Amino acid sequence: MTYPIEKIRADFPILNEKIRNKPLVYLDNAASCQKPQAVIDSIVKLYSHDYANVHRGVHTLSVRSTDYFEAAREKMKTFISAQSEKEIIFVRGATDAINLVAQTYGKANIHAGDEIIITAMEHHSNIVPWQMLCEEKGAILKVAPMNLAGELLMPEFEALLNSKTKLVSVVHMSNALGTINPVEKIIELAHARKIPVLLDGAQAIPHTPVDVQALDCDFYVFSGHKLYAPTGVGVLYGKQSLLEAMPPYQGGGDMIRTVTFEKSTYAGLPHKFEAGTPSIAEVIGLGAAIDYLNTIGMDKIAAYEAELLAYATQEALKIDGLKIIGEAKEKGAILSFTLGKIHPHDIGTMLDSLGIAIRAGHHCAMPVMDFYKVPATARASFAMYNTKAEIDVLILGIKNLIEMFG
C-alpha cells in the first residue's frame, strides 16, 4: 500500500496556514508536532458533551469522562505493548516522568557513592534531575561518551558499568542529533549486571514502533505533544514490580486509599502516582492521537520518514558549506546542521520569512553543542505529514540565504 500522504496532510488543519504570506512548511516537529483534526475533535467533543472530573462522581458525566480517560490508558498499553494498564502512569510529560523516577525510585535506591550512567547526548531533562539527586545523595553521575558522528561508544559505555551502578538512563533517540541508540544492547549489558534501564523516548516514540516488553526496558518515558497529542500529558511506563516497590511521588487526592490525620494508605497502581486532578482532556486527546496513528501504522510512518531523512540528507550534502551535525548510521528524522559563519538564529529568521519553521538553538542539549564546539545548530525535524516538496523548499531557502550572506 502506498503511504496516504495527501489524506494525512488533509487531516492536519494547521498545514493550510500561511506564514508571512507563504504556505507553512513546518519542520520543528522535534520541539512539538501539530495535531490532527481527530485529536482536536476529541477535545471539543469532550468539553461539549462528556466532561466532568474523573474517578470521583457517581453522576453520568463523571462516569463518561472516567471511561474515556481509562480507555486512553488501555490504548496506550496496547500502543507500547505494556503488560498491564497498571504500568501506564499519566504524567505531565517526559520531564515530569524522569523527575518522578528520580524522586521516588532514585531516592529509595540510590545512595552515597552509587553511580548513575547517562550519555553525552542527553536532553537537559535527562541530566538535571539526576544531578539534583546525586547532589542530594552524594551519588555520582557518569557520562558515556560518543564519537563525532554522534554514536555512543559502546566499549566505553560497557566499561562504566560496575557494582556501584544503580541506574542507566539513556535517550532512545537524540533530539539534537537524531541518533538512535542501540538500546537493546544497552539493556542487555545493564541487565547482565542487574542494573535497571530508563529510556527517554520523547523523540523515538513518534518515529518508530515501540514495544517495551520486547525491549525489556525498566522505565520508558515520553511526552504526548511530540506524538500528535496535546501538551500537558505524557507517559511514564514502568515494570509493575518496580512501580509497586516505589514510594509515591506527590501526595494528594486520587492517590490515596484512606486518609486519617495519623496516617494515609496509598492507592494501587497506576493511581498511586497520579495525585490530583489529571489533564483529563489532554489524556483523552492522547488516546485519540493513538487511534489516529493506528489507522496509518507506526511501521509505515517509520518507513516514510526514513525516506524523507535520506532525501533531505542527500540534498543537504550537495550544499557547499553545510555541515550536518549528527551522522550516526542509525538515525531518526532529524537534520541538525550549521552553515559555517552564518549563525543559526539568522538561518531561523531567514527561513521563517519563507514560511519555514525550523529550530535554531542549543536544543536543550548544551553539552552536545560544547562537544561539537558550536554555540547552536539549525535543526529541521520531520514528521509523518512532511513531504519531499517541502524539503525542496527548505534546501532552496538555504542555498539562497547562503548567497545573501555572501
Partner 1 sequence: MFEDLRDLYQEVIFDHNRNPRNFHVMENYDRMVEGFNPLCGDRITLFLKLDDDLITDASFQGSGCAISTASVSLMTEIVKGKTEAEAEALFKTFHEMTTGKDENINFEAVGKLAVLAGVREYPARVKCATLAWHTLDAALKNEQQSISTE
Q: Which residues bind ligand PLP (CB under 6 A)?
A: 93-95, 123, 125-126, 171, 175, 200, 202-203, 223, 364
- Residue 17 touching partner 1 (CB under 8 A): no
Q: How far apart are CA 239 and CA 219, in angstroms?
A: 7
Among 63, 256, 375, 387, binds partner 1 (CB under 8 A): 375
Which of the following is catalytic: 33, 134, 217, 364?
Answer: 364
CB 228, CB 33: distance < 8 Å: yes
Q: Could you say which of ligand PLP, partner 1, none residue 200 binds, taking C-beta under 5 to 8 angstroms by partner kind? A: ligand PLP
Q: How far apart are CA 403 and CA 242, in angstroms?
A: 56
Provide the grid cell at 213.
516488553
DSSP state at residue 13: G
Between 241 and 349, CB nearer to partner 1: 349
Cβ 405 to partner 1, closest distance in Å? 7
DSSP symbols for 86-136: GGEEEES-HHHHHHHHIIIIIHHH--TT-EEEEETT--GGGTHHHHHHHHH
Provide the grid cell at 225.
505533544
DSSP state at residue 48: I
Cβ 182 to ligand PLP, closest distance in Å? 16
Among 16, 213, 294, 353, binds partner 1 (CB under 8 A): 353
Q: How far apart are CA 73 and CA 88, in angstroms?
A: 7
Reply yes or no on whether 364 is catalytic: yes
Q: Could you say which of partner 1, ligand PLP, none residue 349 binds, taking C-beta under 5 to 8 angstroms by partner kind? A: partner 1
Using the rule CB under 8 A, give the single segment among 137-145, 265-273, 304-312, 398-406 that binds partner 1: 398-406
Among 111, 193, 345, 388, binds partner 1 (CB under 8 A): 345
Cβ 152 to ligand PLP, closest distance in Å? 14
- Cell 520531520 -> residue: 382
Q: How far apart are CA 89 and CA 218, in angstroms?
A: 13
Q: Is 259 helix (H, G, I), strand (E, B) or coil?
A: strand
Judged by the rule CB under 8 A, the positions of this chain that interact with partner 1 are 20, 342-346, 349-350, 353-354, 360-362, 369, 375-376, 396-397, 400-401, 404-406
Tell me the catalytic residues. 364
